[in-house]
Structure 1
Amino acid sequence: MNRATPLLAAALALPFALDAPPASAQQATTIALEARRDLALTVYQNGLGLVEERRWVPLVPGANRLDLLGVSERIVAPSLVVSGEGLTLGEQAWRPADLTPQRLLESAVGGRVRLVREHPETGETVSEPAVLLSLAGGPVLRVGDRIEIDPPGRIVLDRLPDDLSAEPRLGLSLEAGEGGARELGLAYLVEGLGWQADYVATLDESGERLELTGLLTVSNGTDVVFEDAALSVVAGEVSRDYGRPQPYQAAAPKMMRAEMAADSVAAPQAVGELYLYDTGRSVDLARGESRQLVLFQDLAIAAKRRLRFDGLVTAGGGPEQVGPEQAAVLLEFDNPEGREARPLPAGTLRLYDLSGERRLFAGEAAIGHTPAGGTLELTVGRAFDVTGSATVTDLERLSDRVYEIAQEITLENAKDTAVEIEVAGHLPRGWSLLEESREHELESANRILWRVPVPAGGETTLTYRMRIAQ
């Protein structure tokens, strides 16, 4: 078999006739979606997608004009890259769908049309040849030997103009060294594609072991359909110049529907400062559709649940009494390293508690991009039966710049098990502790922390006195 045979076989399957007259520089050849091959989508988390595809196109030597269907109105036009052997891109133009009643009438001005209306006495449909003279202020027609201004009835055209289209299209002007069928490579950015990460975490009854599943939801908010597209997603931030005007009007996203694919996605590949997830599958994405894939399943992680108050400690300037307030419930775990290592893209984590055979939703929280080995600390709710209140017991000003403050914090635990409660506070510069009923820790230079055990069904009081020199 000679080398030309595969090209000839592919050409015979194209959605255009190769024996048709060559396209002139004035008339564009329409390239439909059936000519598209090897569609690939790389989707980012900021509503941006990279579309890569190939299309077989008929070319003549020299200048060619092509109209490509199936390209979204939300294309970032300056991002377009065209490749092909012996091809040079001259210019590109976006042509919106313009097969509208107004454009049809405009194309017929000066030409022959028909005026169709009902006879006022017989009700019979009457069709008369006419010439459309003008549309300024309304239709003006010459019907026989009379001029009709905005006549009753409807204007009928006998043919469609060649330069109007029912679909938007991307127009390309190419220079080809040789004629014949050729594979044209296209790569461009498009607004409206996006993906997000979601996590389902199940905490066992001990509160010390977590099973984590990561989900990937990709959404098509563009105005076109992507069929049989090889899908990859990118985790990480890429810079965008939002100060520049966008070339085309953004389409509003439609209602999304989800379809789950249960197989896990392969571990990501680090590319520069980003992570690339190749899903290893091709997907169909209709307009307004979303699909959900599994990033990983049931990753076993050591976890810790903590109870914490951040608003009880004061250094003056606030109310004399605070509370009672419920303790914040924090979930802390380390993203594993080593063989189980997986970076966690930013998303939403939803936590479930197990109690026997029952599962209880315990809260959700947003997480940021977390590398392998990173620590996550999430506030997932408020404790129903652990409360705290604070009272300023003394406030003494020693000078214009120095004062002392004393506070009593009462922690109550209505649980049937003992708990440890964190009491933290942010202090101004120039603070020093003079007295405290329990030894403190420093989370930072101006961030103080007490760890206070509280017995089951009981309460514990924390007191301190500090000096502030401003």
Structure 2
Amino acid sequence: MRALALLLLVLPGPVMAQVAVTSPRPERVAVTVYRDLNRGNRALERNWLNGYALISEARTIAIPAGESELRFEGVASGIIPQSAIVAGVPEGLLERNRDALLLSAGSLIDRSLGQRVSLRRTDRATGKVVTEDAIVRTGSQSGVVLQTAAGIEALRCSGLAETLAYDRVPPGLSARPTLSVRVRARQALQATVTLSYLATGFDWQADYVATLSPDERRLELRAWLTLASTDDTSFVDATTQAVAGRVNREDAEVPDAEAPPIRLQCWPQGTTSEIETEQPGFPPPPPPPPPMAAAPAMESAQDIVVTGMRVMKANREQLGDLQLYRIPEQVTVAANAQKQVGLIDQPTVRVTPVYTFLLTADAPDEVNATLVLRTQNRAAEGLGLPLPAGRVVVMREGGPRPLLIGEGSLDDKTIGEKVEVALDDVPGVRARLVRTAPERFRLDLSNDRSVPVAVEVKLLLADGKRISADGKLVRRDGDTLWIVTVPANGRAQLAYRLKD
């Protein structure tokens, strides 16, 4: 009896099933978007975003005593699982997993292998419905094979309208991207857990709109902060910000979330046909909720005025060597969408317009100039703030409304740097190069504008050649330049020859 009692003491008790606790959505969320630095000043590719976001979510979760699985539904589909940090769990984490398999017709089949499901058949002629039990024997990608009381058969190959019905969703499947962690707690408690992680599929850019005064000496410069997302998850009422600057970060592989369809195979009369379809009755994952409308912009010192209306403006903050642009109100970063808020409002920027040409001996007969708007990023010139890289649309005042004169780009500029915006192929100022002899040329400039214009012509020479033009040329940064002012509705001419 004593030996038996000892044996009973060391025998393990029944294994308790691990409890799963699901958090369907965060109570609060913050989204910080970082640019794709390899893109430079090129425009966003809407369907191919290579920036990323730091997402921080606060969730209140009831954690049971013992070991349990916490499931965070509604995380970004581009989550980088190895970057996830979970804070607020009193005794820490045991493990974490990213559930990449989403709820779909194919995943329901694959997670039900060897399980009993309901096979529902409808006679197309009579409408009679017959339901019977079936066991799933093969997965979604190899042709769905079922075992019924009548034997083995392939799904949708009987000629009747067939569908499968499940009494529950198999464990581990969710209609939305999910991160799960396994935790242990000594006692049941309710905790506010903070989940932070990096996610791919985000980017942002600065979009500038510049309006040039009629004399081309002043520029009204405004910029929009454009946030873009190709993620399948919407972040509603998020504290949102963007970061400019170079962040040292290594690329990480992110497995795509899977929602496989069903591949059906039938072989009546010795033939095989193959159809890939989403089985009726098993809908694909539901679309994300529609984005909530942003709150109306408040008239405050943080707003800017565009055509008589107030526009919410992001606040700039210094973050070490980086620039942080914080949107002052909570907004929705919607799935597969983009959002714009004000970024910069500089009403009077002093610029120097210069019309430039780059010419070789085989230049075409006549070319239009490139208009370069030059200034310094200083307060004295009407700037004096960091300028993120982006595209620039340049308008010119005139008539009842401004007119588009060209588009250019802007690299990242810090305070004090020289700023140039170049607009190619601007009509009105032209150059014509004429060969008057084998080594002699005449360069004719024409200006059909009503104001004088400053022109710089860079002459490219073949190796070993020099140029002579009676002292009218200058050397700057190793280039040979002709710098001249062409009068209003006037012309200028340069004759030069090449020498060895």
**1:141 is matched with which residue?**
147
Residues 1:68 and 2:72 aligned together: yes
Residues 205/24 of structure 1: CA separation in 2 closer, same or farther (3 Å cut) = farther
Residues 418/179 of structure 1: CA separation in 2 closer, same or farther (3 Å cut) = same
Mapped to 2, the partners of 1:271 and 1:121 lie a distance apart of: 71
Shift of 1:227: 0.8
Mapped to 2, the partners of 1:117 and 1:63 lie a distance apart of: 43
Query: Retained in 2: the 8 A contact 1:308–1:421?
Result: yes
Q: How does 1:103-118 map to 2 (within 5 A)?
A: 103-118=107-122
Aligned residues: 420
CA offset digits 1:190-228 (Å, max 9, x no partner):
112221101111112222111111211112221101011
Residues 1:419 and 2:465 aligned together: no
**1:17 is matched with which residue?**
none
Give TM-score, length-normalised by structure 2: 0.75
Shift of 1:326: 1.6
Mapped to 1, the partners of 2:102 and 2:453 lie a distance apart of: 70
**1:410 is matched with which residue?**
444
Q: How does 1:292-331 map to 2 (within 5 A)?
A: 292-311=340-359, 314=360, 318-319=361-362, 322-331=364-373
Mapped to 1, the partners of 2:330 and 2:387 lie a distance apart of: 23
Mapped to 1, the partners of 2:497 and 2:123 lie a distance apart of: 100
Q: Which letter does structure 2 place at the counterpart of 1:219?
A: A
**1:190 is matched with which residue?**
199
Give TM-score, length-normalised by structure 1: 0.79
Shift of 1:310: 1.2
Q: Which of residues 449, 461, 464 in structure 1 aligns to 2:493?
A: 461
Residues 375/299 of structure 1: CA separation in 2 closer, same or farther (3 Å cut) = farther
CA offset digits 1:315-354 (Å, max 9, x no partner):
xxx53x6421122222222223379521110011111111
Q: Which of residues 275, 297, 309 in structure 1 aligns to 2:323?
A: 275
Residues 1:42 and 2:32 aligned together: yes
Residues 1:234 and 2:237 aligned together: no
Q: Which letter does structure 2 place at the counterpart of 1:182?
A: A
Residues 1:31 and 2:23 aligned together: yes
Q: Which of residues 440, 443, 452 in structure 1 aligns to 2:476?
A: 443
Mapped to 2, the partners of 1:426 and 1:119 lie a distance apart of: 82
Residues 257/109 of structure 1: CA separation in 2 closer, same or farther (3 Å cut) = closer
Shift of 1:230: 0.6
Mapped to 2, the partners of 1:248 and 1:73 lie a distance apart of: 8
In angstroms, what is the RMSD of aligned CA positions?
Answer: 3.3
Shift of 1:420: 3.2
Residues 451/63 of structure 1: CA separation in 2 closer, same or farther (3 Å cut) = same
Mapped to 1, the partners of 2:178 and 2:477 lie a distance apart of: 59
Mapped to 2, the partners of 1:95 and 1:82 lie a distance apart of: 16
CA offset digits 1:234-268 (Å, max 9, x no partner):
112324434x53333699xx9x99989503322x2
Residues 149/443 of structure 1: CA separation in 2 closer, same or farther (3 Å cut) = same
Larger RCO: 1 or 2 (CA < 8 Å, sep 6+): 2
Mapped to 1, the partners of 2:461 and 2:120 lie a distance apart of: 84
Residues 390/119 of structure 1: CA separation in 2 closer, same or farther (3 Å cut) = closer
Question: Larger % of strand: which?
Answer: 1
Residues 241/359 of structure 1: CA separation in 2 closer, same or farther (3 Å cut) = same
Q: Which letter does structure 1 place at the counterpart of 2:256?
A: Y
Residues 201/414 of structure 1: CA separation in 2 closer, same or farther (3 Å cut) = closer
Q: Which letter does structure 2 place at the counterpart of 1:361?
A: L
CA offset digits 1:151-184 (Å, max 9, x no partner):
5453544511440333331111223354311121
Q: Which of residues 307, 310, 334 in structure 2 aligns to 1:286?
A: 334
Residues 414/121 of structure 1: CA separation in 2 closer, same or farther (3 Å cut) = closer
Shift of 1:462: 0.9
Query: Retained in 1: the 8 A contact 2:117–2:136?
Result: no
Mapped to 2, the partners of 1:285 and 1:66 lie a distance apart of: 25
Q: Which of residues 119, 126, 129 in structure 1 aligns to 2:130?
A: 126
Which sections of structure 1, spanning at least 5 residues, go unmatched? 1-22, 396-404
SS at match of 1:175: strand
Residues 296/186 of structure 1: CA separation in 2 closer, same or farther (3 Å cut) = same
**1:165 is matched with which residue?**
174
Residues 1:78 and 2:112 aligned together: no
**1:388 is matched with which residue?**
431
Query: Retained in 1: the 8 A contact 2:211–2:395?
Result: yes
Shift of 1:458: 3.8
**1:400 is matched with which residue?**
none
Shift of 1:101: 3.3
**1:247 is matched with which residue?**
255
Mapped to 2, the partners of 1:114 and 1:85 lie a distance apart of: 41
Q: Which of residues 353, 377, 399 in structure 2 aligns to 1:335?
A: 377
Residues 103/60 of structure 1: CA separation in 2 closer, same or farther (3 Å cut) = same
Mapped to 1, the partners of 2:63 and 2:375 lie a distance apart of: 60
Q: Which of residues 57, 66, 72 in structure 1 aligns to 2:61?
A: 57
Mapped to 2, the partners of 1:367 and 1:417 lie a distance apart of: 27
Query: Retained in 2: the 8 A contact 1:422–1:451?
Result: yes
Query: Retained in 2: the 8 A contact 1:258–1:291?
Result: no
